[in-house]
Structure 1
Amino acid sequence: MAFFAISRTEPLRLLSATELAVEQERLRAENAQLQQAVTSHAVIDQAIGAVVAYGRIPPDEAWRVLRDMSQRTNTKLRTLAGRILRYAQGEAVPDFDPAELRRAIDRYRVLQRTPR
C-alpha cells in the first residue's frame, strides 16, 4: 500500500518509510496533547462548579477566582483545579489552602460591589 503526502500547494508525492514514521510520531504526540487538554478542561469545569457552590458566586466569577488563585500561588490552573476538587470531596489536600480560596472569593465579591 502506498501513502502520499496531500498538500494544496504541492503535487502528490510518495512518502518514504522514514517520513511515515515521523508523521505517525507527530500525530501520536498531537493526540496525546489533545487528550490532556480535554481532561484538563473537564477538571477545570468541575472545579468551577465546586467554587460556584462553595462561594455562591456565578460561574464567570468562579473562573476569575480560579485564575486569580493560580496566578497568586504560581500553580498551574489544572493542578489547582484538581486540588480544589479533592478538597471539595473532603480529602485533606496538603498543597491547598482553603483560606486562600475564601480570600479569592471575597476579593471578587468586593469587586462586584465596586461601581465601575
Structure 2
Amino acid sequence: MSVHNGFKPGTRHPAKEAQAQRAASLREENEQVRQAMESHAAIDQAIGVLLAASDVTPGQGWDVLREIPQHTNRKLRHVAELLTAWTRTGNLPADIRTELDRQLALHAHSRQPDR
C-alpha cells in the first residue's frame, strides 16, 4: 500500500476536512442570519400595518402580532407577511382576521403609554 505524506491515498487530510466543515458551518450560519433579517423586516412592517390600521402603540402592536400565531396555528413570520400583503390585496384569511379583531379589542381596552 502506497502512502503519500503520511496518509493513505483517497483519504482526506484532517486540516482540509476541518476547513470544509467550517465552510459548511459558515454557509449555514449565513443563511440563518439572512432569514432572521428577513423575518425581522416582515415583523417590523406588520407592526407598522397595525399602527396604521388601529389605535395601538408600537409595543401593543408587537403584543397583538405575537398573540395571533398562538391562536391560529401559524408561524409569526407568516402572519406578519399576511398582514403586510393585506395592505395590497385587501384579503386576510378569516382565522387571522378574527384573531386580529379579538386582539385589537383586548388591547384597545388596555391602552397604555408605549413601553
Structure 1 stretches (4+) deviating beyond 6 angstroms? none
Q: Which has the larger radius of gyration?
A: 2
Q: Is the 8 A contact 1:70 1:76 kept in 2?
A: yes
Gaps of 5+ in 2: 1-13
- Cα distance in 1, alignment partners of residues 106 and 93 from structure 2: 24
Residue by residue, what CA displacement relative to the aligned partner does 1:19-62 show, whole Å, maximum 9, x if unpaired? 10000000000000000000100000000000111112111000
Residue by residue, what CA displacement relative to the aligned partner does 1:83-116 show, whole Å, maximum 9, x if unpaired? 1111122253447532321111111112338xxx
Say if 1:58 and 1:100 are closer, same or farther in 2 by CA, change over 3 A.
Answer: same
TM-score by length of 2: 0.77
Gaps of 5+ in 1: 1-14
Q: Is the 8 A contact 2:51 2:58 kept in 1?
A: yes
TM-score by length of 1: 0.77
CA-based RMSD: 1.8
User: Highest relative contact order (Cα 8 Å, sep 6+), 1 or 2?
Assistant: 2
- Cα distance in 2, alignment partners of residues 96 and 86 from structure 1: 15
